[in-house]
Amino acid sequence: MSTITIKPFIGNYLRRSPKLHPNSKKAPHFSLNYSRRSLFSGKANLRFTDYRRRRNLLLRASSTDAAVIETSEEQSDVVFKESFSLKRPEKAEGKIAIRLDKGNDEENWHLSVGCSLPGKWILHWGVHYAGDTGSEWDQPPREMWPSGSIAIKDYAIETPLKGEAFQEVKIDISSKWSIAAINFVLKDEETGVWYQHRGRDFKIPLVDCLDDDANTVGVKKGSGIWSGSLGKLSNILLKPEAAPSKGESSSNDGSSVKSRRLEGFYEEHAIVKETLVDNTVSVSVKQCPETAKNILYIDTDLPGNVILHWGICKGDTKIWELPAMPYPTETVVFKNNALRTLLQRKEGGNGSKGLFTLDGGPSGFAFVVKLDENTWLNCKGDDFYIPLPSGQHQSKENEESNSSQIVNRSPEQSQAGSVYTDEIIKEIRNLVSDISSEKSRKTKTKETQETILQEIEKLAAEAYSIFRSSIPTISEVVSEAEVLQPDVKVTSGTGTGFEILCQGFNWESHKSGRWYKELHDKAAELSSLGFSVIWLPPPTDSVSPEGYMPRDLYNLNSRYGSLDELKVTVKKFHEVGIKVLGDVVLNHRCASERNQNGIWNIFGGRLNWDERAVVADDPHFQGRGNKSSGDNFHAAPNIDHSQEFVRKDIKEWLRWLREEIGYDGWRLDFVRGFWGGYVKDYLEATEPYFAVGEFWDSLVYTYGEMDHNQDAHRQRIIDWINATTGTAGAFDVTTKGILHSAIERCEYWRLSDQKGKPPGVVGWWPSRAVTFIENHDTGSTQGHWRFPGGKEMQGYAYILTHPGTPSVFFDHIFSGYRSEIGNLISLRRRNKINCRSKVEITKAERDVYAAVIDDKLAVKIGPGHYEPPGGHQRWKMAAEGNDYKVWELS
């Protein structure tokens, strides 16, 4: 049995030749730093209580200051008592078993992949065809699909493993299919974890494996299972640059391959799965009337040695301080601002307990639980905060403190941040002065000036990031006059602020061959529902039928319909008052011909580029451009937007689409692949009414559970918007992911961030956030990140009442949700809710979320109870459905 390192990939994401990510189409591998992070413990409502006539704690101090705990029926002064749920990571070890067996003859083989650990395991796999140098991942022939398999776009399939104690899947292989290798990864669908081989896909070569890949399993170097013509291909296929050594025969008669055929193999690879185990920690506080001291008793069922990392807080601050001595036994001082106490093991070893005696001055007791050097347990990403009696007059604020982030920022730290920001601003000014002076002397080249401008924009983005993180987030607010009289001329790509977007297709729409005609017939109906913008599918000639592998950009005869049908459909939408967005793929483009080395990087049609238009750092397509300014998409040549001729051609093409087709704006595909400054250039050249980018990135997960704090995730989206200087919005993937998790797990507290604001992009830059719950990748027949079934209307109740620009998925409109969605759209329009509307979150608890928007609408989602402030005298019910309600100001 060989033991290897299997790296898990945490999160919901899609795969694209050969990537794993929740990108709608393509994104680079998400690499997990495998040191453990702080885990969330369940929500608890903190409150002061009076537990009279109960079994209360009597504390007797000994000479060593250790307390002896007794129980009594006597009345005592217990002022706080609460239990918190904890989720502790626990490892389960198992194995992935891979077996290749010969069938009835030399041309047929059987591959089986199994896993010994419990879970809902999925084999995500594809094949590499002999002679195909363009991609290592393709879908296998239909005859090869085991039962239960589903297609993943056009490059892979997913097959569930079956069994009880040991789950496995079996795949039949035949030489007639000319398959050179099988690639796969294993996914645990319950936790969202993907398992690879040494950080890469498992690869099983079926021809000579001359390159010693680290991810190759089963087949030894120089062996293969196919004889004949496919065996002859192997030397050329996997190492085309290799040439025979002097005196070495270059014969290709296949005899050597035949004599080294593989008879089969069996391998086991170690796998470690992280699961979360439920535990609790209970805290009670008693105030001693004789000494006025506060006595905390902490009890937990956590196994092993448990260390409490703790400190006290004074006044209104949440800054940790050391308490007055003496300290409990087994306590050490940590960096002069916290203590670490080893809790005492209970008799029988079932958990630990601890006693802490504090003076009456502190207002709170803050702590986290340390299990080992890498594992910490806390409260939704924050410290546990226990209010003490001296702060009882602030009990309401203290009750909310466990839903707020505790920031330990000293005045010196704030000053340091300010000094750093000042230095950045100074550097920007110097660069501006430099480019101005050089312009006057006309000595700077245009390329150098653009480089300086790029540096300025990057510095500005950095300064903006520091500014946003160092002050409270201020929501964008517009006056009533601005709401009633939006600007008529809009050239920034962000519309008027009142847009409601419809995604006008799904993953299967191309199959009818007449999708434009079908949309044409639905235009009046979509207008009557209240939609003001529709997003149409990619219009260009494409290698993939869905349109996301474009080839000839000026050829607009696609699987969705002809050029003329597209123009008629756009005109029809304009007649009913709906703006139209074109879905443009600018990151990559499929070639029409191979170069002299057999690489697909020669483009056809009107834009007949060559390898100079391809980035240099994508090894698959031998580009001769500059290095990529973003993340590479390995299924097609990535376009080098730093080339002036490329940008000129793209701007000309986009202007042609605006004029010839009548598009009003753009949906920009996979914008992670190139710098946002180029997007700004394209938008300024085309002056769209509205533009939105797909910046898809993995949210942060710890052992399969989404972290409460997703600030880093939404900051990356904000940074991209900022790189475009705000000329485009972006899909609010952060809000999608948090809504998904909150509704699926009944954890509605996730819908409020540490500052009581919406936790997605909509909480920081609402006018640039395009909110959604589903699209053609996450839902439809792909279902890569499908919103919790039967609960879609909770999601729409949220995005259609909140700021941001809501986007509604086509499948949900023409389904049983049509009337409910139409009612919510009507409410939004009637109350003039817009992308900058003000949100006041009034409740965010385990089973209910509620908010008031612009003092005009109140909304509640979740099974819990909520009534808006003022009750029925002030509010009237306007919409109601499965676990959601919306009230309108009466």
- Report the 10 Å Cβ neighbour count for 431: 15
Catalytic residue among 694, 707, 774, 777, which? 694
Report angle CA 807, 811, 813 to the nearest 5 degrees: 65
829: which strand partners?
A: none
Q: Which residues contact 875 (CB under 8 A, 6 or more apart)?
A: 858, 868, 887, 888, 889, 890
- Is position 383 annotated as part of the catalytic site? no
Is the Cβ–Cβ distance between 324 and 359 less than 8 Å?
yes
Considering just the CA atoms, what is the radius of gyration of the chain in Å? 31
Is the Cβ–Cβ distance between 538 and 547 less than 8 Å?
yes
**Token pair listed for 671:** 């914008």
- Give the helix/strand (H/E) hosting 341: strand 338-342
Q: Which residues contact 281 (CB under 8 A, 6 or more apart)?
A: 41, 83, 84, 86, 298, 299, 300, 302, 369, 377, 384
Beta strands in 716-776 (DSSP E): 729-731, 769-771
**Token pair listed for 625:** 């451009």
Say how far apart CA 595 and CA 613 lie, in whole Å.
13
Is the Cβ–Cβ distance between 787 and 798 less than 8 Å?
no
Say how far apart CA 625 and CA 644 lie, in whole Å.
11
Residue holding tokens 């021809």? Answer: 207
By three-state DSSP, how is residue 717 classified?
helix
Alpha helices for 114-250 (secondary structure H): 228-238
- Give the helix/strand (H/E) hosting 436: helix 411-441
Is the Cβ–Cβ distance between 748 and 758 less than 8 Å?
no
Of 790, 763, 782, the residue nearest 882 (C-alpha): 790
- Is position 669 annotated as part of the catalytic site? yes
Which amino acid is residue 671, in one-letter code?
Answer: V
195: which strand partners?
A: 8, 186
Say how far apart CA 702 and CA 123 lie, in whole Å.
23
Contacts of range 323-328, beta carbons closer than 8 Å, 24 or more positions apart: 323/358, 323/359, 323/362, 324/359, 326/65, 328/65, 328/66, 328/354, 328/355, 328/356, 328/357
State how beta strands 264-287 and 294-300 pair: antiparallel
State how beta strands 193-195 and 150-152 pair: unpaired
Catalytic residue among 188, 669, 753, 811, which? 669
Is the Cβ–Cβ distance between 805 and 769 less than 8 Å?
yes
472 upstream amide cis, omega within 30 of 0: no
Say how far apart CA 700 and CA 575 lie, in whole Å.
44
* Span between the terminal Cα atoms of the chain, in Å: 71
Say how far apart CA 72 and CA 393 lie, in whole Å.
29
Residue holding tokens 């776009």? Answer: 153
Size of the chain, expressed as the number of residues it contains:
890
What amino acid positions are annotated as catalytic residues?
669, 694
